[in-house]
Chains A and B, each alone.
Chain A
């Protein structure tokens, strides 16, 4: 069972990694590259704690093989802020009190950012639908939904 050498971009940096076939993107991020911001909640594509952007779209990184990411562009929670300035979804989730234990937060932020990337003016229903694959046991979601709506409004202001 040979290893594969892959080259990919993670948070704007080019990485070269040797990975066995069965290693998931999540494992590669956490265990080969120490991007521990992305979390493992279930290894089954159910909880969304492992959500990252792959070529601009959110995926459960536990459901993607590392070898399938050769040539891909990955963004993790560590890549959301730019030069220390938080992305609006990060800023608003803090302000709305949508962070408690913080374990679901990285995946949640990626899903939220991806939603705003594809829909700059999401309705509440759009937000709920976009986040349905990100389980949270602490907050009850209401503040998170509010924070994403708020982030959408701020982004629209920023883009004016």
Chain B
């Protein structure tokens, strides 16, 4: 019998584009999302009274009329809860206590027998406000003139890698001081200095936020939620209420789109707090689409200043970048975006001298939370345009300029970390080739102009240095396998690749493997959060370890029963085989009942349960003054995108004709799913480039609906899109894999902006590049009249 090579590189189904495990459920309508769960006639509904002013002291809250409305079962306010919530900084009360900080800030909650009655009750709650001065701009927010939004900053618990400035609106300040930037300018042959204002956007998941909570008479809390982070929610809610994590159970069914908006705690603490007043009753809270746009979380706005210079050969010498993040009313999660953009502030380039100051600033805007890319799309939007401009200034082709400067294996990064093996150059070269870089296609009509643009990106998983994953693998009587994880299926395919990895590591056919769903913090193994594009790598390591553990248990059992060496045994296609004796035995039954010894002499083995966990242990701290340290992050995923656009000179409309993306994913566990992330991310990026912004007036979101917050439709996507998988193995990734989920949307805005420049010779400025902004830019430049 052919011995399977010990170091088999890619056992099936690794590298196979197997069908998504939950696809059938989703197409027949039986996949359950949180609002689909049935709770019976006793279900109560919650609605939230929200602040109508951007910044004010709360003088009084009168809930008497609301309480008196028939059908109302509970009304709660900030007076009922003293606990604060926060992932990296506990700056957020569950309901506002003494003041409100943004239009939408929760002031009170109502539970009633119907949503309509709860809504009516909310309308009967009277709040008296004493308006305070406002902060709507992060650059203003850091000045002494700006009122301090969080006077208690300094008293909040804070992670030891976040540096708030008490007495100011700076929730975090991350610094890079590398080399000698001041002297370096003198050596530069060309310098580009630009300011970019990146607007707030929102995640726009098709499923808006929904949670149900029940607090039993003994105080145990049960929460069902559309959630990327059941364990983080359990932890943060337990801490804010002062209870044990073991008394909080979070159940998380399929998520109808997260993109970061369902990470951390958003509405969950409120509905638990309300449920505490109606013990034994289930209370459901769901956001309207309008609330989704402003009252869950949004992507922070950014005011960015870039200054970068290169020598006469196009080698980058210095960068000085300042990022003022509009963090919103509460920055408990957003502070880490500041840090992540700080330690990645150079973009994917080797630059010997870098100053960076990244500020997370409190403002009276909606809460800036994690959104796909975690600061990278916002940062790259301006940075990659400056790179193009610098290339032009020095007379180099933008692709050549990037080839010279992009990070390569062993490059010294902005934090001093050494770059691990990366396929960024390969991604760049393949992308440029696929888009036909250097070839100018004729425009399709006399009133159109055609152009091409390219952009690079990088991103590391942004998380605490000790974010961990764990997994279980159990087997059933018929040999099928159940994988238990804490990582959530939000559409990215995590359940499928978990099944693939378990099948490969154990040695069973792919369709023998099930992934347990929904997630349940009582029974699922721990996972930090489903964010940061970390699951394929981190959860994947845990699943693989658990499957290997199960495999070892099975082989040990059979080795003992057969009196053979484990090294001579293997599991292939669900059978244990011996290379020595050529015996084989099916996994069926033995994985539960063990193996009987001959002559009724007893048994060997028993129920097989594999366990595995993974936590990176090598991330080091960074010097707070310089941002330097040996290992800032676990790894970077890098990649490139290019587009070909046409600009309509009569309307300013930008049409994306063709897109190309190449990302180094280390190893594509499921190539078609990787391609699907590249496509979907590209279109989401395109949507943010051409259509999306939250429009504010005095803190009020003017376009909180699909009517006036436009996203890409089926009519807006290019016919021609090519995704290219680059594989330079990640040393500690399962089969070399690393993540792709966020990265696919990071470079799209600058790629399109650079293409617009190629088409019409104008930098339109800040996104979105709507027809109007492009046309008016052409008008102002005298290109049209």
Interface set of A (CB-CB < 8 Å, partner B): 30, 34-44, 46-47, 49, 76-78, 80-81, 86, 90, 93-95, 97, 99-106, 109, 124, 127-129, 131-145
Residue contact B676 to A101, C-beta cutoff 8 Å:
no
The contact of B491 among A35, A36, A86, A101, by CB within 8 Å, is A101
Residue contact B259 to A137, C-beta cutoff 8 Å:
yes
Residue contact A140 to B256, C-beta cutoff 8 Å:
no
Contacts of A104 in B (CB 8 A): 206
Q: Does B6 contact A (CB under 8 A)?
A: no
Q: Which of B232-290 contact A (CB under 8 A)?
A: 254-259, 288-289
User: Taking A77-B28, A93-B27 as contacts, is the C-beta distance between A101 and B257 under 8 angstroms?
Assistant: yes
16 further A-B contacts with Cβ under 8 Å, apart from A103-B257, A135-B206, A138-B491, are A35-B29, A37-B29, A77-B29, A78-B28, A94-B23, A94-B24, A100-B676, A101-B205, A101-B257, A102-B27, A102-B491, A109-B27, A132-B714, A135-B711, A139-B676, A143-B676
Residue of A nearest to B30 (CB): A37
Q: How far is the CB of A122 from chain B (nearest CB, A)?
A: 12
Residue contact A139 to B680, C-beta cutoff 8 Å:
yes
Q: Does B32 contact A (CB under 8 A)?
A: yes
Residue contact B493 to A100, C-beta cutoff 8 Å:
yes
CA distance A105 to B289 in the complex (A): 18
Contacts of A41 in B (CB 8 A): 206-208, 289
Q: Does B552 contact A (CB under 8 A)?
A: no
CA distance A155 to B590 in the complex (A): 46
Q: How far is the CB of A131 from chain B (nearest CB, A)?
A: 4
Q: How far is the CB of B342 from chain A (nearest CB, A)?
A: 29
Q: Does B682 contact A (CB under 8 A)?
A: yes
Residue contact A129 to B254, C-beta cutoff 8 Å:
no
Size category of the B interface is 35 or more
Q: Does B44 contact A (CB under 8 A)?
A: no
**Chain A at the B interface: mostly helix, strand, loop or mixed?**
loop
CA distance A150 to B785 in the complex (A): 46
Residue contact A132 to B715, C-beta cutoff 8 Å:
yes
Residue of A nearest to B493 (CB): A100
Q: How far is the CB of A133 from chain B (nearest CB, A)?
A: 8
Q: How far is the CB of B203 from chain A (nearest CB, A)?
A: 8
Residue contact A137 to B706, C-beta cutoff 8 Å:
no
A-B CB contact pairs (8 Å), 29 listed = A39-B206, A39-B256, A42-B289, A44-B289, A44-B707, A77-B29, A78-B30, A90-B27, A94-B19, A94-B23, A94-B24, A95-B19, A97-B17, A99-B26, A101-B254, A102-B22, A102-B256, A103-B33, A124-B719, A128-B714, A132-B714, A137-B204, A138-B206, A138-B491, A138-B680, A139-B679, A140-B680, A140-B712, A141-B683
Residue contact A132 to B491, C-beta cutoff 8 Å:
no
User: Taking A99-B20, A131-B714 as contacts, is the C-beta distance between A42 and B705 under 8 angstroms?
Assistant: yes
Residue contact B493 to A49, C-beta cutoff 8 Å:
no
Interface set of B (CB-CB < 8 Å, partner A): 17, 19-20, 22-33, 35-36, 38, 203-208, 254-259, 288-289, 490-493, 672-673, 675-676, 679-684, 705-707, 711-715, 717, 719, 721
User: Taking A94-B23, A143-B676 as contacts, is the C-beta distance between A42 and B706 under 8 angstroms?
Assistant: yes
Q: How far is the CB of B399 from chain A (nearest CB, A)?
A: 25
Residue contact A103 to B289, C-beta cutoff 8 Å:
no
Residue contact B29 to A36, C-beta cutoff 8 Å:
yes
User: Taking A100-B492, A102-B254, A143-B676 as contacts, is the C-beta distance between A137 and B29 under 8 angstroms?
Assistant: no
Residue of A nearest to B707 (CB): A46
Q: How far is the CB of A99 from chain B (nearest CB, A)?
A: 5
CA distance A102 to B206 in the complex (A): 9
CA distance A144 to B257 in the complex (A): 17
Contacts of B27 in A (CB 8 A): 77, 86, 90, 93-94, 99, 102, 105, 109
Contacts of A78 in B (CB 8 A): 28-30
Residue contact B711 to A137, C-beta cutoff 8 Å:
yes
Residue contact B679 to A142, C-beta cutoff 8 Å:
yes
What are the 8 A-B residue pairs with the smallest beta carbon separation, nearest first? A37-B29, A103-B256, A101-B491, A140-B683, A102-B26, A100-B491, A46-B706, A36-B36
